[in-house]
Amino acid sequence: MSVVKSKMSASFSIVVLISGSGSNLQSIIDTIAAKKIPAKISAVISNKAEVYGLERAEQHGIPTEVIEHTQFENRESFDQQLQARIDHYQADLVVLAGFMRILTAPFVQHYSGRMLNIHPSLLPKYKGINTHQRALDDNAKQHGVSVHFVTPELDGGPVIAQASIAVKADDTAQSLAKRVLQYEHRIYPTVIQWFVEQRLSLGENGIIFDNQGLKNIIAYT
């Protein structure tokens, strides 16, 4: 079922998809409010009701919708409804911010080159979930976060930028997650800003940044 609320204005339209507390959403909201990203968030859509991310959006007058995946027979029918709602807002960019759903290939292809995701690992390492514990189990020396274009392969799209931190001897999955999250809040708005300002795009041969092919992943510090 779909629930719609309020409105705001500007030109470049972003739709943010969430499943939880929306801390990355908040960092994007704050960066837009600081006039560093020349865009508006046209809507925040969650596949779960009563998550705090929806409250964050409502506090800033951003329209919210809930499309509960449990109300659909399969992924395809859920994605079709989700796509219809995103397109209703004429999204120029779709931002996955803790959206815990595996998306179907037709959905991803519909937004090819204009959908971004943030993943808490140094991709291609640790695709999927439980990334922090898996890094600890591997005795990894470095861990971090990646922002990438979304393709049908799970967490397999071209990586734009990464932030890396050293893993401490006394780190737990929780402490590692907390430190990585601080970088998530910095790196994601930056990449979104590049996209909105047309410095970043996805071409046939890969990522284009400042009118040149991106040869190396951008290291964010």
Show which residues are catalytic. Answer: 119
| 198: Cβ contacts below 8 Å, ≥ 6 apart | none
Burial of 61 (C-beta count, 10 Å sphere; 0-12/13-18/19+):
exposed
Going from the C-alpha of 51 to that of each of 12, 15, 81, 113, the distances in angstroms are: 26, 17, 20, 28
Q: How far apart are the first and last CA of the chain?
A: 41
| 62: Cβ contacts below 8 Å, ≥ 6 apart | 6, 8, 29, 41, 42, 43, 44
